[in-house]
Amino acid sequence: MCYTILVKKLFPTFFLALIIFGIFSFFGVQKAEAASYERLFYYVEGKNARESFLAQSGSIDVFAPQSYQVDKNGHLIGVIKPDLLAFAKKNKIKVMPLITNGAFSTTTCESFLTDSVRQNVLINNLVQEAQDFGYIGWQVDFEQMNLSYRDQFSEFIEKTYVIFQKNNLKLSVAVIAQVSENPADYPKDLWTRIIGVYDYARLAKSADFISIMSYDDPNSAGPVTGYAWLQKVIDFSLTKIPKEKISLGLAFYYWQWRDLDSKRTGIGGLEGINNIIKKYSVAYHYSVEEQAPYFHYWNKKDGKGYTIWYENAKSIGQKISLIKKYKLRGFSAWALGLELPSVYTVMR
Q: What is the pLDDT of residue 35?
A: 76
Say whether the peptide bond before residue 335 is cis (omega within 30 degrees of 0). Answer: yes
Within 8 A by CB and 6+ apart from 132, the residues are: none
**8 Å CB contact between 250 and 334:** yes
SS3 state at 339: coil
Segments in the chain forming alpha helices (H): 4-9, 11-21, 47-55, 82-90, 106-112, 116-133, 150-166, 190, 200-205, 227-238, 270-279, 313-325
CA 161 to chain centre: 22
**Cα distance between residue 152 and residue 158, in whole Å:** 10
- C-alpha distances in Å from residue 144, one per residue of 198, 264, 302: 11, 22, 35
Whole-number pLDDT of residue 34: 60
Task: Round to whole Å and give the CA distance between 67 and 69.
Answer: 7
pLDDT at residue 21, as a whole number: 52
List C-alpha distances in Å: 133 to 86, 89, 180, 254: 10, 10, 39, 34
Integer Cα distance of 184 and 207 in angstroms: 28
Q: What is the pTM of this model?
A: 0.91
When the candidates are 1.10.10.10, 3.40.1410.10, 1.10.760.10, 3.20.20.80, the CATH number that belongs to 28-252+312-346 is: 3.20.20.80
- Between CA 174 and CA 100 the distance in angstroms is 10
Q: Specify the pLDDT at position 15.
A: 34
Tens digit of each residue's pLDDT (9 = 90 or more) over 1-26: 332 232 223 333 433 443 345 433 33
Regions in the chain scoring below 70 on pLDDT: 1-34
Angstrom distance (rounded) from CA 69 to CA 91: 26
Using left for φ > 0, alpha for ψ between -120 and 50, and beta otherwise, residue 282 falls in beta
- CA dist list (Å): 125 to 21, 88, 96, 169, 208: 44, 22, 15, 13, 20
